[in-house]
Amino acid sequence: MAVSPRVFPPRKRWPSTGSSISPKFADLNLVKSLLSLSQEISALKPIQCLLIQKSLSTINKSKLLAIVFEELLRNPVSTSFSPSILLCFEEMYIVFQRIKTLMEDCCSGSKMWLLMRIQPLANSFHELTLELSTLLDIFPVNELDLSQDVEELFVLVRKHCFQSKPSVDPRDDSLRRDVLALLHQIKKEIVPHHLKLKQILDNLGLRDQSSCREEIECLQDEIQNQIDEKSKLDIASLIGLLRYAKCVLFGSSTTQLEQDHRRRNSLSEIAVPADFRCPISLELMRDPVVVASGQTYDRESINQWIESGHNTCPKTGQTLAHTNLIPNRALRNLIAMWCRQQRVPFETVGSNEKVSGVKATKAAFEATKMTVYFLVNKLSVSPSMEAANAVTYELRALAKTDSDSRACIAEAGAIPILVRCLGSGVGSEHPNLQVNAVTTILNLSILEANKTRIMETDGALNGVIDVLRFGATWEAKGNAAATIFSLSGVHTYRKRLGRTTRVIKGLMDLAKDGPTNSKRDALVTILNLAGDRETVGRLVEGGVIETVIGVINVLPEEAVTILEAVVKRGGLVAIAEAYNSIKKLGVILREGSDTARESAAASLVTICRKGGLEVVAELAAVPSIERIIWEVMGTGTMRARRKAAVLLRILRRWSAGLDTNDVVDSSVMSVGALTTMLPA
């Protein structure tokens, strides 16, 4: 599936290596390279809307000099050059490379940011023109056998270069001042005049919602390219202004819905490497961080774990010496590279939160508030479901951007209005509206304060649960499950949700019957709810073990992780029901990923130790089980090796007719100590 390159992690633009390194070509090759480079510049289009005269003048000069280089190549007599001519050619090559880099940089970036840098960029064009003028001035043109017409062209270019002035087009400068004035108004909480906004955007070639959206994406990329904090803050303000302008000038549109849907689903069609998945959410990590135990988790998931009152590592059970989270930048870069190779979107924390850690400026924050109140007011008086759907989609997209947007949307009273769009009547006639509404609530729930707002809003939780059970589309059901997952990040809400039979029923049905990506949403939510012991009992009663056994071939990592949590906390009833999973866990031990093998080994240890001799006999009947366990002890994770060692000891004691309940826990006996007791 083709995906716009703009959704991939942006790369910083670096000057071409040729722009600073003198070429080492033979005489003819040097002239050919100059001709090729001048033709490349000549083929460029003038910069749109801004710096038009500067870029057009540069292109025209390149076209005229290309004629000079063509003349030199056509005349074999003049191909033996003096050292002074060669030196001028080499310096020209460097100047042309720098001109090309400057032109490409101006053409490919954000128009709004180009406008803000109009003075230094105009100076750059002037400085390069002066350098070219100096080279043409000292160039010994009389040593070349050029035709009279070509020599006159050379002189003409030299004259034009000499006449260059470091000026900014008055129109460009006026436009820049207008934008700064608008930002100043917004900063003072003055709503910009819509006609003035439209005039500015027209002058920048931003005449519809699509071009505005592309410009916002360009600005987000520009933040990644900046080093100084002030530039990042300035760009953040411009993004806020453009988001507001896009909504008030061009209205709301659903033209991006189908494309966004394809982007969201593209990741579910690809097998994500186990090391790239968060051990808690089992989703692709966006912001991997390392905890005190040395394990890596996605920042959002481990934050929820810690904020829920846990002080242990979820994977190892080790008590955390501190709760500091260290960014795992190496892994993040690997994930970004993998996403590029797989052609799937990689929405970094930088793109979804304050980009690159930039705090919102006063202008950006006020622009966000203006945008939110405009949209919420428009949604409250929408004349039709189609219009409501378009506005809800805009709120959904805005709620995904950063915490300020989420807070503003909730404070503006959007949640009760969105709840009205969750009903089955809406879903049957306008399924996209139901999807957008529940997804907006999901995005809002990311902010901790909004979790309370959602739980306390009349009908909000019931509406989400109804979508989970009776939603019009699988996407709506999956996003309802994800909303419950997010809300369950608060410990008291997790208990409340776990006691709700409709929640458990809806999650079980979704895990059994939904497509793969919806199954994963349901399983991840079930796993989060299983963190509460009382909820585990309700999950067992609801058939969770039967459910995970049914999906273990489709989503093995998710299934065995849930099974491990349930048999650990679910008592004898869970152990008895897990009896039918033993053979499948044996297959996971042999063929699963490192994460899946670790959870499978831990589950089998619990089942065998609590389930009695009959359960151990069932495990012993798995073909080549001892060899499989030995492989895990040799190649698995450290925890998997410990669990596998205990599992092997249980089997040895069973075969010797001894009590398997007396096996020493893996946390106090090393793999080495166990293996010395066993035959080679």
Lowest mean pLDDT among 35-44, 178-187, 216-225, 576-585: 216-225
pLDDT one-digit tens code per residue, 105-146? 888 889 999 999 999 999 999 999 999 999 999 988 888 878
Tokens standing for 257?
A: 């819905």
Spacing of C-alpha 82 from chain mean position: 56
Count of domains observed in the chain: 4
Which of 167, 192, 215 corresponds to the end of one domain?
167
> 259-272, pLDDT tens digit by residue?
555 555 555 556 77
**Structural domain ending residue among the three candidates 340, 359, 394:** 340
pLDDT of 81 reads: 78
- Residues 5 and 106: their CA atoms lie apart, in Å, by 18
pLDDT level of residue 354 (50, 70, 90 thresholds): very low
CA distances from 500 to 310, 354, 461, 462, 494 (A): 23, 36, 11, 10, 10
Residue 319 φ then ψ, to 5°: -65, 130
Distance in angstroms (rounded) separating the CA atoms of residues 433 and 386: 8
Residues 530/566, Cβ–Cβ less than 8 Å: yes
Q: Which long-range contacts (C-beta less than 8 Å, at least 24 apart) are formed by 665-672?
A: 666/605, 666/642, 667/317, 667/642, 669/645, 670/642, 671/633, 671/641, 671/642, 671/644, 671/645
Q: ∠232-237-241 over CA atoms, to 5°?
A: 145
d(CA 542, CA 520): 18
Cα angle vertex 229, ends 224, 233, to 5°? 80
| Residue at 206 is within a domain | yes
pLDDT at 287: 86
Per-residue pLDDT for 322 more than 90?
Answer: no
Please check whether residue 543 is in contact with residue 509, taking contact to mean a CB–CB distance below 8 angstroms.
no
Task: Determine which of 253-267, 302-316, 496-510 has the lowest per-residue pLDDT on average.
Answer: 253-267
210 and 220, same domain (yes or no): yes
CA atoms of 585 and 599, how far apart (whole Å)? 9
Quickly count helices (H) and strands (E) in the chain. 36, 3
Say if 473 falls within a structural domain.
Answer: no
Q: How many Cα neighbours within 13 Å face the side chain of 451?
A: 18
Rounded to an integer, the average pLDDT of 421-438 is 91
Distance CA 649, CA 661 (A): 11
pLDDT of the residue at 422: 93
> Do both 239 and 283 map to the same domain?
no
What CATH number has the domain bearing residue 325?
3.30.40.10
Same-domain status, 232 and 283: no
pLDDT at 33 > cutoff 80? yes
What share of the chain in percent tops pLDDT 90?
Answer: 46
Instruction: Report the mean per-residue pLDDT for the chain.
Output: 84
If asked whether residues 153 and 54 sit together in one domain, one would say yes
155 and 188 within one domain: no
3-state DSSP call for residue 63? helix
Do residue 150 and residue 127 come from a single domain? Answer: yes
Residue 151 falls within a domain, yes or no? yes
Per the domain annotation, does 293 fall within a domain?
yes
Residue environment code for 334-345, b if the CB has 16+ CB neighbours within 10 A, otherwise e? ebeebbeebebb
For the residues 445-451, what does the mean pLDDT come to?
Answer: 92
Those residues whose C-beta lies under 8 Å from the C-beta of residue 81, and which sit 6 or more positions away, are: 27, 89, 143
Q: How far apart are CA 594 and CA 599, in angstroms?
A: 9
Higher pLDDT residue, 159 or 348? 159
Q: What is the pLDDT of residue 22?
A: 52
Task: Report if residue 5 sits inside a domain.
Answer: no
Which three-class secondary structure string do you get for 91-126? HHHHHHHHHHHHHHHHHHCCHHHHHHCHHHHHHHHH
Q: Tell me the residue range of the domain where 327 lies.
A: 273-340
Taking the CA atoms of residue 511, residue 512, residue 516 and residue 518 in that order, the dihedral angle to the nearest 10 degrees is -40
For residue 261, the model assigns a pLDDT of 52
Please check whether residue 562 lies inside any domain of the structure: yes
Q: Is 216 exposed, middle or buried (0-12, 13-18, 19+ CB in 10 A)?
A: buried
Confidence band (pLDDT; 50, 70, 90) for 345? Answer: low
50 with 148, same domain: the answer is: yes
Task: Tell me: pLDDT of 54 over 80.
Answer: yes
Tell me the whole-structure pTM to 2 decimals: 0.76
Sign of the alpha-carbon torsion through 245, 251, 257, 258: negative
Which pLDDT score, from 0 to 100, does residue 646 have? 92
The answer to whether residues 243 and 287 belong to one domain is no
How confident is residue 308, by pLDDT bands cut at 50, 70 and 90? low
The pLDDT confidence band at residue 23, using thresholds 50, 70 and 90, is low
Choose between 547 and 665: higher pLDDT.
Answer: 547
Q: What is the pLDDT of residues 109-120, one digit of tens each?
A: 899 999 999 999
C-beta separation of 390 from 434 below 8 A: no
Q: Are residues 295 and 243 in the same domain?
A: no
Residues 137 and 179 in one domain: no
Whether 662 has a pLDDT exceeding 90, the answer reads no
Q: What pLDDT does residue 602 have?
A: 92
Is residue 668 predicted with pLDDT exceeding 80?
no
Alpha carbons 532 and 390: distance in angstroms, whole number: 39
Would 213 be classed as within a structural domain?
yes
pLDDT at 351 over 70: no
Instruction: For residues 152 and 47, state if they share a domain.
Output: yes
Task: For residues 161 and 173, state if they share a domain.
Answer: no
Q: pLDDT band at residue 359, thresholds of 50, 70 and 90?
A: low
Domain boundary among 340, 365, 387: 340
So what's the pLDDT on residue 667? 37
Long-range contacts of 387-390 (CB under 8 A, 24+ apart): 387/252, 388/421, 388/433, 389/254, 389/430, 389/432, 389/433, 389/436, 390/251, 390/252, 390/253, 390/254
For residue 35, give the H/E element and its range: helix 27-43
Q: Region 402-410: what's the mean pLDDT?
A: 92
Alpha carbons within 13 angstroms on the beta-carbon side of residue 110 total 27
CB atoms within 10 A of CB 679: 5
pLDDT tens-digit series, residues 193-252: 999 999 999 999 999 988 998 899 888 878 877 888 888 899 999 999 999 999 999 876
Q: Does 244 reside within a domain? A: yes
